Structure 1
Amino acid sequence: MTESRWYHTSPPAKLNLFLELLARREDGFHELDTVMIAIDWRDELRLRRTTQPGVRLSVDWIPNRAAVANELQVSEDDELLFIPTDGKNLVVRVLNRLSETLGLEGGWEVQLNKNIPSGAGMGGASSDAASALQLGWEAACETHPEMPASSKRELLLPLAAEIGSDVPFFLGGASLLGAPKSTEGIQCARATGRGEKLEFFPLANPLHAVVLYPAASVSTAKVYSRCTVPDSPRSSDDLVLALQGMSAETTFSLHNTLEAPARGLSSRIDPALECLSKAGLTHCHMTGSGSACFALADSSQQAALAAKTLRSTFPGGALIRPVMSCVVPSEIHIA
């Protein structure tokens, strides 16, 4: 085989606007009802096919490790900045599985530049994996032009769900999921099952927010171990209708049932939520299993001003970013 060109894209993060537990499954996971939006807080990922077997992954931080450590007020070797480059990284796992599934010879060279913090509930690792799967498919098609395009959906979706519950969301696009052409450019999805059963829909209006990651990761497993399934779970039906502009209601409520147990595990979450509220923002919540928190803004201008205020008022290190909803998947470029 020959080496491919470089394929690159910008994996986005996500926010959970709604997250409810419906039941505990026999496989140890939970049945969920969650609503996710993609946001323009992005990593950078590029890869190519190589003749050398295996996955060679290099990782750095944007703009650099020292700058991110300074924002978080931690040392450059702090575990918050540690990103594995072996099989513990979902990018490595998904590319190995893609090679196995397609019977590919050779391997992969991958460069990952991180922006999205780990242990934040923002889906950074899952988004990176989804982007690696998409880029890997395109690169494999270049070096193995005999691969039928018709098998893309049948191969990639099961691999995505196998790697992680959030990975299928970041695959997004209508062409991959077999959705009508009119749904391309989606920004939002309702997910059920353990998060892999998706109903994509466009937002009636862009959402603006400020995200605050308070220099503290939270273990997803520990958060779920402290959860109990409510006797009467809430439904995201009303929120989905409101986000699509199909509800007469002008207001909507957000919800995250994981917030309470996560707050019991990290003392940094309550100050984050309090500061977001004091900055004049609304709908202050944690995303996913934490520890990142967010609040909605009326406009990009309000979000930018609130983020600037928070950087001077939040006690301790944090990554604070104004964001807005964006589409998935991200555009692929070839060099």
Structure 2
Amino acid sequence: MSADRLTLPAPAKLNLMLHILGRRPDGYHELQTLFQFLDYGDELSFAVREDGDIRLHTEIDGVPHDSNLIVKAARALQNQSACRLGIDIWLKKVLPMGGGIGGGSSDAATTLLGLNHLWNLGWDADRLAALGLTLGADVPVFVRGYAAFAEGVGEILTPEYPEEPWYLVLVPQVSVSTAEIFSDPLLTRDTPPIKVRPVPKGNSRNDCLPVVARRYPAVHNALKLLGNYTEARLTGTGSCVFGAFPNKAEADKVSALLTETHTGFVAKGSNVSMLHRELQDLL
């Protein structure tokens, strides 16, 4: 095993809006959403092994080693590329599970991009994103690394350039099941599609919010609390709640008031993933 480690970030994302257009025959939902990254996230370290083994050395409560998306991503890339090298992986986990900010998907994407670099595979973004889609609908946006308007099940991406404010993100101590929310009979599934680009300002609605707030009182309370200071929004299917501020000082001020009783963090919105900024420095 090499003593050299490559350490890369796995950034969080926000869904700045999420509209559900309908349900497809295969059970998945047609949606439109706007992704933006945060300069905040998990951190993964990699060291190449010569024996072909793939080992994640960080245990995650409730997630068996072989079920972790990091391990699945590494094995999928190893199999598809016929690479004989292996990898040791360490994870510094800060993003909550079931928070709607892309923790597992981002970790998987960082693994794909990191191993593509370390194993000298030379795969392009299209090929990596296609493999990522087999792991999860949100993985491709992290692989590509730019803010995007997403359609289909989230895999059809068009670059977007929303404003990059500072955000306060509150993290209710609940894990929301995406499958549970999308199977709720009260979920809105008939929102008319947005047909103009860029996405018009004011489209900040998340169709999942009423269902999540009804099922999870902690999310409802966080939305109400943050809503006293700014427009409070839900990212993805939750549980995380966020609000935008014009500068870090304003976000920090409200954070100091709210994080006495609620877990949360302040982060800068970014239209380019911090992972991709670091990868560019390696080239």
Structure 2 equivalent of residue 323 of structure 1 = 267
Q: Which moved more, 1:205-214 or 1:107-116?
A: 205-214
Structure 2 equivalent of residue 64 of structure 1 = none
Q: Deviation at 1:5?
A: 4.0
Conserved? CA contact 1:6–1:48, under 8 Å: yes
Structure 2 equivalent of residue 260 of structure 1 = 210
Q: State yes or no: 1:93 paired with 2:72.
A: yes
Distance 1:93 1:217 in 2: 22
Structure 2 equivalent of residue 144 of structure 1 = none
Distance 2:47 2:124 in 1: 18
Larger gyration radius, structure 1 or structure 2? 1
Conserved? CA contact 2:44–2:89, under 8 Å: yes
Q: Deviation at 1:41?
A: 2.1
Name the aligned partner's letter for residue 220 of structure 1.
T
Structure 2 equivalent of residue 301 of structure 1 = 249
Distance 1:103 1:4 in 2: 24
Conserved? CA contact 1:33–1:236, under 8 Å: no
Q: State yes or no: 1:164 paired with 2:136.
A: yes
- Per-residue deviation, residues 14-60 of structure 1 (Å, max 9, x unmatched): 11111011121222211110011101221111112202333211227
SS in 2 for 1:22: strand
Structure 2 alignment gaps of length 5 or more: none
Name the aligned partner's letter for residue 209 of structure 1.
Y
Any residues of structure 2 matched to 1:203-242 within 5 Å, and which?
Answer: 203=162, 205-227=163-185, 228-233=187-192, 235=194, 237=196, 240-242=199-201
Q: Deviation at 1:8?
A: 1.7
- Per-residue deviation, residues 214-246 of structure 1 (Å, max 9, x unmatched): 11111111111105444343538477244xxxx
Name the aligned partner's letter for residue 84 of structure 2.
E
Conserved? CA contact 1:285–1:294, under 8 Å: yes
Which of 108, 112, 118 is equivalent to 2:91? 112
Q: State yes or no: 1:310 paired with 2:258.
A: yes
Distance 1:214 1:299 in 2: 24
Conserved? CA contact 2:188–2:208, under 8 Å: no
- Per-residue deviation, residues 78-103 of structure 1 (Å, max 9, x unmatched): xxx72635122111001000000111
Identical aligned residues as a percent? 29
Conserved? CA contact 1:57–1:85, under 8 Å: no
Q: Which moved more, 1:85-94 or 1:125-134?
A: 85-94
* Aligned CA distance change for structure 1 residues 239 and 106 (closer, same or farther; 3 Å): closer
Which of 209, 218, 223 is equivalent to 1:273? 223
Q: Deviation at 1:263?
A: 1.6
Distance 1:320 1:170 in 2: 22
Provide the alpha-carbon RMSD of the alignment.
2.2
* Aligned CA distance change for structure 1 residues 140 and 198 (closer, same or farther; 3 Å): same
Provide the TM-score with structure 2 as the length reference.
Answer: 0.90
Conserved? CA contact 2:137–2:153, under 8 Å: yes
